[in-house]
Structure formats: structure tokens, C-alpha cells
Amino acid sequence: MSGPEVAKTPGGGGPGKEGKEPVANGHTGESSDANPFAEYMWMENEEEYNRQVEEELLEQEFLERCFQEMLEEEDQDWFIPSRDLNNQGVAQLQQQLNGLSVSDHHSNLEEVARKSILNPEAKEFVPGKKY
């Protein structure tokens, strides 16, 4: 219950309300119809509030666990040579990479063009242009 709601309860008003003068402890003078528990009315929904906070904390913990699992799965999906290959595998990859080469032989290009099954009369492709 918030401040305005407490003020509406019997005895829940601030000092000096309802024509009562505050006494030494800051509370209004006691009368026969005053609610002796008025100062504790804010606790009325304490269990509900605690349950709500606990649910939020559990949800936050669940989301953090899911996020951590997602990161772990992502780490497993990535290929990391230092982690995923033993030393022999790395050496084998290095040998294969060293064996690769790029050649600029024009004779190969002419041979590829002769053996090609592409249509030499076809229009040139231009991205974004509709034919």
C-alpha cells in the first residue's frame, strides 16, 4: 500500500490529521476507533512483493544460464585450429596450404574457353538490370 492509501486507512494519516495532535513519538493521539496496526499496513502485500521479486530473480538467472549455454554452443560450433586439431593435424594443414599455388598461365585460359559449354552469343550480365 502506498502513502496515499495508508492515509485513507483509519489511523493511517500523518500527524495532525483528523484534528489530532502528534504526541512525543510522532504518532497521533490514540482514540477508541484508531487502527492499532495502521503503521504496519504497508506490510500487507509484502509476501506478494517478495514473490514477484523472487520470480524476477529466477527469470534473470534463467536468462543468464540460457545465454551462457548459447555462448558455449557457439564456441563448440566454431572451428579453432589450436583447440580442435592436434599438432599433427596442424602440420598436415600447413603442408596442404604450402602445396597450393595460383598460376597465371594464359594457355590454360584459352583451353578453358575452347572447352566451355557457355553460349558465346549470350548478353553480358549486368547486376540490377532486368532483361
Q: What is the pLDDT of residue 20?
A: 52
N-terminal to C-terminal alpha carbon distance within the chain: 72
Q: What is the pLDDT of residue 75?
A: 79
Q: What is the pLDDT of residue 16?
A: 47
Q: What is the pLDDT of residue 63?
A: 96
- This prediction has a pTM of 0.33
For residues 26-33, average pLDDT: 55
CB 78 within 8 A of CB 37: no
Report which of residues 79 and 118 the model is more confident about.
118
Of the candidates 79, 96, 76, 100, the residue with the CA atom closest to the CA atom of residue 88: 96
For residues 27-32, average pLDDT: 53
pLDDT in tens, 101-116: 766 655 677 787 778 8
Residues 6+ apart with CB under 8 A from 89: 81
pLDDT in tens, 54-101: 999 999 999 999 999 999 888 777 777 677 766 666 777 788 888 777
Q: What is the band of 32 on the pLDDT scale with cuts at 50, 70, 90?
A: low
